[in-house]
């Protein structure tokens, strides 16, 4: 018997002694064997004939499993800005409703919170003269209050002109023109008197092609004649200034420069002689 080591026989009816810490390596060993078995099963599957489509599906499945936790963490933080934007738009909706509540024509203003942003509809019976882009003096103050309630925001504002399907009279030959002039007149008023930055706004005409209701009754046609102020959920995108084309990529010298200007027959300068960009790049 080895010195220092106790040996004893298990008696009949005696419980087996509990495993000690020395047996914990068996758990790790079992996990290793399981992983090796999975590895060889996958290798065998890949070695057989599989289509590119099935291989792509397997790859996407593994990638999705490995990045599940990472995606879940990103989604938690990604929802936070959306909630902030939603709260901001709800506050703007309340401010606009309070701004028009004191005017007699408040029933001719509709304020809706939609997926594309805050939509403020101004119906023409209260805001415009018939077949005219001129704002009625009585409703200019209402539009001024609406503009003031939106002036503290940085969101983009698209002003959309709409009409019914009846051709306009007077100096207009189409509803495109009338709707465009009304949208432009609202943009100019909001910029000059409502302190809305010009870079935040744009004017669009949809004529009779985006009605709220069918143009089948006078009431429906009156509701379709409107100007919508669409306050976007996002700020306006910065203008992209094109990078000047290097002279090496021009087919000719810049127009007006000396050295590559040859007079055309008759003594006139050729306007196409210089400043034309090479569409195939500088190597041609």
Every domain of the chain and the residues it spans: 83-232, 242-284
Distances (CA, A) of 74 to 55, 62, 65, 66: 28, 19, 15, 14
Q: Report the 10 Å Cβ neighbour count for 245.
A: 13
Give the right CATH number for 83-232 from 3.30.1330.60, 3.40.50.2000, 3.20.20.70, 3.40.50.150. 3.30.1330.60
Would you place residue 218 in the very low, low, confident or very high pLDDT band (cuts 50, 70, 90)? very high
The residues, ordered by sequence, that sit 6+ positions from 125 with a Cβ below 8 Å of its Cβ are 108, 222, 225
Q: What is the pLDDT of residues 65-123, one digit of tens each?
A: 656 544 554 444 344 456 666 788 999 999 999 988 888 778 889 999 999 999 999 99
Per-residue pLDDT of 161-197, as tens digits, reads: 999 999 998 889 999 999 999 999 999 999 999 989 9
The residue assigned the tokens 């007699």 is: 104
Q: Between 78 and 54, name the one with better pLDDT.
A: 54
Residue 279 in tokens:
């569409």
- 190 compared with 251, residue with greater pLDDT: 190
Other Cβ atoms closer than 10 A to 238: 7
158 beta partners: 202, 230
In this structure, are residues 254 and 274 in contact, taking their beta carbons and an 8 Å threshold?
A: yes
| Predicted TM-score of the model (pTM) | 0.57
3-state secondary structure of 104: helix
pLDDT band, residue 235 (cuts 50/70/90):
confident
Q: Which residues contact 90 (CB under 8 A, 6 or more apart)?
A: 113
**DSSP string over 185-203:** HHHHHHHHHS---GGGEEE
């Amino acid at each position: 018997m080895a010195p220092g080591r106790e040996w004893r026989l298990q008696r009949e009816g005696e419980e087996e002694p509990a495993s000690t810490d020395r047996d914990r390596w068996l758990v790790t060993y079992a996990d290793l064997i399981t992983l090796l078995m999975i590895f060889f099963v996958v290798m065998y599957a890949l070695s057989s004939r599989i289509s590119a489509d099935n291989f792509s599906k397997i790859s996407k499945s593994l990638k999705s499993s490995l990045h599940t936790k990472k995606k879940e963490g990103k989604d938690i933080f990604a929802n936070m800005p959306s909630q902030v934007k939603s709260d901001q738009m709800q506050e703007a909706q309340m401010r606009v409703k309070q701004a028009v509540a004191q005017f007699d024509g408040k029933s001719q203003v509709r304020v809706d919170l939609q997926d594309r942003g805050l939509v403020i509809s101004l119906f023409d019976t209260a805001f415009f003269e018939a077949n005219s882009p001129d704002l009625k003096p009585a409703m200019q103050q209402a539009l001024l209050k609406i503009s003031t309630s939106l002036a503290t925001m940085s969101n983009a504002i698209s002003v959309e002109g709409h009409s019914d399907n009846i051709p306009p009279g007077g100096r207009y030959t189409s509803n495109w023109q009338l709707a465009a002039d009304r949208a432009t007149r609202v943009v100019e008023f909001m910029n000059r008197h409502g302190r809305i930055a010009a870079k935040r706004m744009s004017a669009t005409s949809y004529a009779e092609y985006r009605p709220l209701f069918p143009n089948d009754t006078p009431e429906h046609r009156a509701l379709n004649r409107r100007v919508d102020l669409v306050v976007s959920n996002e700020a306006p995108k910065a203008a992209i200034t094109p990078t000047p084309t290097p002279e090496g990529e021009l087919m000719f010298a810049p127009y007006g420069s000396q050295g590559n200007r040859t007079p055309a027959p008759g003594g006139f300068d050729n306007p196409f002689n210089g400043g034309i960009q090479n569409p195939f790049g500088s190597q041609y």
